[in-house]
Copies of this chain bind each other. A is one copy, B any other.
Amino acid sequence: MRNTAVLLISCPDQKGLVAAIADFLYRHNANILHADQHQDAAQGLFLTRVEWDLADFDLAPSAFQSAFQPVADRFQMNWQLKLSAQRPKMAIFVSRYDHCLADLLYRYQNGELHCEIPLILSNHMDTKWLADTYKIPFQHIPVVKEAKAEAEKDQLALLRHHHIDFIVLARYMQVLSPEFIQHYPNRIINIHHSFLPAFHGAKPYHRAFDRGVKLIGATSHYVTEVLDDGPIIEQDVARISHRDHLDDLIQKGADLEKIVLSRAVKWHIDNRVLVYANKTVVFD
């Protein structure tokens, strides 16, 4: 794999922006591999993702900030630099359903997810065998209603200890508190087993079955304080018919959940997702 850098920028849209960024990179001998941008006219916003090969680049990562900040200041840029050499640390939260966890771990060991997984955290012991198979540390923190705050405190301590960058809720069946969420803004990825905003909340397959829909869906999104309302990263659907029982919906849905969640996680890891106005831009 190439050694690359990714620059993610959002700022007010204005003339000269693209020229300034391109010129800066050119002056430092960057070999641009991908560049994508998006203008949101209604919001007056400019968003871009640029990826370049570090081979010929004449700025050390440590020197980037001081060199780039004048450009950033001129255009009031919100920017982040990400290096492919620095794999983000992902924690996976899971309860009893293990299909998403199994899928993520398989993709991880297969080299598809360019991250580290220092921690699997569960309120049950059911999925420990999977963690063991893939040799990932597994922590069991039971969550009981009356002591949720304490459980979250323990979880946060573990996350900090492992320097976790982002969290994936792989069918984690507990609602996180606003206090917990604000520690990882736009850095907690959930998979909801419906085509949001349809069937937000509990038991979406049951409700989809009762409503008689002809397609079921899955949605991965960043977690915000409002349940199932965060910025959507990816969605997909599968066709069902009257021949499908509730069990079939759940089984077909599981395949959707795996695909949709793994795409979102991969894009997040590859720094392809920018959030604004409770929406995402996915630079694919």
Contact = CB atoms under 8 A, between A and B. Distances in A.
A36 interface: yes
A163 to B, nearest CB: 28
Each complex incorporates copies of this chain amounting to: 4
A59 to B, nearest CB: 15
A279 interface: yes
A39 B30 contact: no
Given A112-B251, A215-B195, A237-B237, A242 B32 contact: no
Interface residues of A, number: 60
Contacts of A102: 106
A110 B106 contact: no
Contacts of A41: 245
Contacts of A181: none
Interface string A8-45: 00000001101101110110011111111111010000
11 contacts: A18-B26, A34-B39, A36-B36, A41-B245, A195-B217, A196-B213, A198-B198, A212-B232, A215-B217, A241-B284, A242-B280
